[in-house]
Amino acid sequence: MSRSPRTRVLAHARVRAAVVAAATAALLAPLAACTSNTGDPGTETDAKPRADDRPVEVTVTPAGERVPAGEPVRVTAAGGRLTSVSVTDAEGHKLAGKAASDGRSWVSDRKAAPGAAYTVTAAAKSEGGTAKSTKATFTTAGADKVNKVDWRPGAASTVGVAQPLSLVFDNPVKNKAEVEKQLRVTTSNDTEGSWGWLTDWSGRDRVDWRPKAYWKPGTKVTLNAELNGTDSGAAGGWFVRDYETTFTIGARQIAKVDLDRHQLTLVRDGETVRRIPVSGGTPGGDKRSWRGTAVLMAKEGTINMNSETVGLGNAYDKMVEHSMRLTWSGMYAHAAPWNARYFGNSNQSSGCIGMSDANAAWFYGQVRPGDPFEITGKDTKGVVAPGNGFGAWNLSWSEWQQKSALR
């Protein structure tokens, strides 16, 4: 005779209870399952309780359908102790958690995400040793608004020693501390670093993680942004997924740009590789270059540069070779053959660091995103701001640490 699914569940539970009883020489008694008011009858294991044994009562919260997201899952045992708890969503992902020292409660490390269904399975023992298994389910309401993240660097990339981890959010982040708590950086050599909140050049909220000093070459870095189920606050919406990226730090390369001497020097592992004559931004106005530490953001190759996009009117509109972006505001290092007569003796560009075709082609092949450009010069527009590209290196370590929402 075929048996119903519930009969098979009860039979399986009784076999499991019998095995536990044989191993522990304890009498296991089933008690009514906690359903968390979900209508789910639950699953329970039964054995006849002792006359003096009071039943353990297991409670699971949240409970019900379409409950608010953003709360941890809590399981409590009255009249006994929890022996195991498992919380799983519909996709099979588990919420880890910790039990209290007295075994009477358990709380998940992560919060329940919006638009999800969870199954909670808990095992407990009464004071007299009677075992009980409880299963409960609940669902969370969906997110009215979703916040998303754009991050750098990309996964499996090799970057320079000044590359920060950088996350830019689609919507405002009011709950900065709550978000920052969910961001975990691990490195192969315990590199010291800190998160700092910025306003990106686009005007959006952004958080970067930079080391105290330039990365050590060969360091392997992993970011686990466990944001699913985190509320970013008013007007921001919920995060509905986690993010992860890993990358490796390459050779220690620094491009030292002396605008007063009109020279770029590439230094690798402490040794000078090549000195290149350059021409920087024209002194005395809006065409001046930035100074301080800029970080190579991307090697963009051949691109169209139009002065109107950076507020310089119709000064230029041309295709430019070997373009390497240093700031969001439009400062690049690139080939500038039209300025050949100025290389090494005068700054006559519209803010970029120009060099010959041959030198630009060679230099482009040597550098990688994340390499720092340490720029000095008397007549500049000022220091690169933290949100204008990756300008965090222009703040002292203590200044940078103060930008963390957890300080």
pLDDT digits (tens, 9 = 90+) for 95-145: 999 999 999 999 999 999 999 999 999 999 999 999 999 999 999 999 999
CATH of 149-250, one of 2.30.29.30, 3.40.50.620, 3.40.50.300, 2.60.40.3710: 2.60.40.3710
Q: What is the mean pLDDT of residues 344-364?
A: 97
Q: Name the architecture of domain 5-140.
A: Sandwich (2.60)
pLDDT at residue 8 is higher than 50:
no
Average pLDDT, the chain: 88
pLDDT tens sequence across 33-51: 333 333 343 444 444 555 5
Percent of the chain with pLDDT over 70: 85
Mapped onto helix, strand or coil, the DSSP state of residue 385 is coil
Q: What tokens does 382 get?
A: 């000022």
pLDDT of residue 32: 31
Instruction: Tell me which of 42-46, 182-186, 329-333 is least confident.
Output: 42-46
How do the domains of the chain map onto residue ranges?
A: 5-140, 149-250, 253-394
**149-250 and 5-140 share a CATH fold:** yes
Cβ density class 341-369: b for 16+ within 10 Å, e for less: ebbeeebbbbbbbbbbeebbebbbeebbb
Do 26 and 129 touch, CB atoms closer than 8 A? yes
> Over the range 307-329, which residues count as b (16 or more CB within 10 Å of their CB) and which as e?
beebebeeeeeeebebbbbbbbe
**For the segment 154-167, what is each residue's pLDDT rounded down to a tens digit?**
999 999 999 999 99
Poorest-confidence range of 40-49, 219-228, 289-298, 373-382? 40-49
Q: Are 351 and 287 in contact (CB under 8 A)?
A: yes
Of all residues in the chain, the percent with pLDDT exceeding 90 is 82
User: Rounded mean pLDDT of 61-71?
Assistant: 97
Widest pairwise Cα distance in the chain:
101
- C-alpha triplet 149, 352, 155: angle, nearest 5°: 30
Please state which CATH number belongs to domain 253-394: 2.40.440.10
